A and B are shown apart, each in its own frame.
Chain A
Amino acid sequence: MVSEYNNPGSHKYFFIIALVFSIIVLIPMYVLVIIAFAVPSQTIAAYYPSLIPTKFTLSNLMHAFSGYSSILEAAFIKSLITATIVGALAAFLGFHASYGLSKLPVRLSSLIISVLFFSTMIPSLTIAIPISVSFLKAGLYDSALGLALAQELVVLPMTIFMITGTLQSLPKQIELQARVDGAGFFQSLYSVIFPLALPGVLAAFLLSWMMSWDEFTFAIILSPVHPTLPILIYLDSTARGNILYASAFSLIVTIPVILITMALSKFIKGNYMASGLTG
């Protein structure tokens, strides 16, 4: 089979695109890092900030954390809990919904998934206000669970789309074989299909987790009293005008994302497609 990827020329293009993409992503990260570690006189206090600062200090970070650690910690934990609930719910609901969808003819399941995506076309802001009213009544206002439920609205269609794709690519006979080997419906679902769909489920978990981690609209409206990390940073950099603190916190925001991505990536690559099975 002659594939585009076997063509050495296209490797080159891929490399260039990856490079451009990395630069676009890395420049803001770089600015963040130098603001956090360089002396303020060379960055935010300078009339012409230097892109290559010469004097470094840890005092920015020390200051940011010392006077502020309990609020920061609370926001960090709230974000962590919210994102984990969002990810776990997305994986759980997504897997079961997708299993059902994967049993339908592809045309029908794609139609249903498109309809699900319509729900995300309504701006979060429009639904956040009515949701906050019902959350006040239900006691979910300002809680991590409530916020997670609202954010779930945004991530679930994407999640279902991803996991359905994974499930549709599994050989049908594996499941039938499990039934013949004596597995009941749920046994085959959890001990055979779930492990095979795991790469897709984990990818969905990761994506939802990250979407929640820096989600803004629902967070600021549904949880303003005890804010999540992105809201805290926003309040610091704009409302309180403290860019030094904000950049220090922003670094804190990125670290868990990098860690969780690295931890899960080796599972997501999954080599179940290379199992010598067809059909």
Chain B
Amino acid sequence: MTVKLELKNVTKIYGKHKVINDLSLTVEQGEFFVILGPSGTGKSTLLKMMVGIEQPTSGKIFIDGKDVTKLPPNKRNLAMVFQNYALYPNMNVFNNIAFPLRMHHRTNISQRVREVAEKLNISDILGKRVNQISGGQQQRVALARAMVRKPAMFLLDEPLSNLDARVRFSARAELKRIQQELEQTFVFVTHDQKEAEALGDRVAVLNKGEFQQIAPYKELYENPANPWVGDFVGDFPMNLVDGKGFRPEWASVGSGDYSMVVESMESIGDVSFIFGSDSNGEHIVLRAPEKYPIGTTVKYTVNRFKDFGNQP
């Protein structure tokens, strides 16, 4: 397996603000690599440095073993889809998709555009202006424009965040299908856990400019590297008792050595969760087999713990 993208000790400082702090990373060829993190942690900055529209303050970037740190974006042969798609407003859909081909002096432009449009189901809107199409269509046009010249790698910055829930779900599936079909390397930025879980071969959790953990999503969930990851990953923060963490489904409610006072209850699908605090004031979430009135004390047993050792 050839190594496709490497970051070595990359740091980015804006003014006095260190946005990316000494990051190293290797993305393998054909991998769907997800960068997951809260807002403002430097996800977009990282992507911009990979594609070449921002320069790292220090550190190096390699593509296929070649140092591209100083190379302008038009020499890197990467495709990027911005969060807001950045379609060219003065061009129609066809010309938007054709633009990268024209810039690379390709031939057979029309045929290639039609091929890609076919694949993404946008053949019927090629003649439209980009402000006359829906958000979902804009997203597919942006993807088509990225795919059309067969770049070495795709960088996607929260491309699904503008879509409504239903379209987002199908767009996600479609993206995964496309990636498997192209067998291309994708780097995908998101702050949506479900996206990370559904798409990522590996997920890198970024916080305050540093990777907290890089692993498949399941591993992040079951075996977080530190309490912060345990807290951030999952529908609910990982419960913490005696410095050890556990997920709601790792405990059984009814009897046991631990107890908490119920504060609220919520159903997600056919599973109910109860929220409460224990005697130390720690918030606890448990899976509840039955209803518990607010204010009652429930006992529970933890069947499995994640031990963070002496970490903070």
Contacts and interface: CB of A to CB of B under 8 A. Distances in A.
Interface string B60-100: 00000000000011100011101111111110000000011
Interface stretch (A48-56, A68-76, A172-180): A172-180
A258 to B, nearest CB: 28
Which bracket fits the contact residues of B?
20 to 34
Contacts of B207: none
A23 to B, nearest CB: 39
Contacts of A123: none
A187 B99 CA distance: 11
A97 to B, nearest CB: 22
B78 A180 contact: yes
A196 interface: yes
A111 to B, nearest CB: 20
A272 B88 CA distance: 10
Contacts of A178: 88, 99, 103
Contact of B100 (A173, A181, A184): A181
Interface string B30-50: 000000000000000000100
B205 interface: no
A279 interface: yes
A173 B129 CA distance: 19
B53 A179 contact: yes
A179 B73 contact: yes
Interface in B176-205: none
A241 interface: no
A176 B129 CA distance: 21
B74 A171 contact: no
B130 A173 contact: no
A274 B131 contact: yes
A180 B99 CA distance: 11
Interface string A218-244: 000000000000000000000000000
B12 interface: no
A278 B86 CA distance: 8
Given A177-B80, A276-B131, A278-B84, A195 B149 contact: no
B239 interface: no
27 contacts: A173-B84, A174-B86, A174-B88, A177-B80, A177-B88, A179-B52, A179-B72, A179-B73, A180-B52, A180-B79, A180-B80, A181-B74, A181-B100, A183-B103, A196-B89, A196-B90, A271-B131, A272-B89, A274-B131, A275-B87, A275-B129, A275-B131, A276-B138, A277-B86, A277-B87, A277-B89, A279-B83
Interface of B: 48, 51-53, 72-74, 78-80, 82-90, 99-100, 103-104, 129-131, 138, 145, 149
Interface of A: 171, 173-174, 176-184, 187, 192, 195-196, 271-272, 274-279
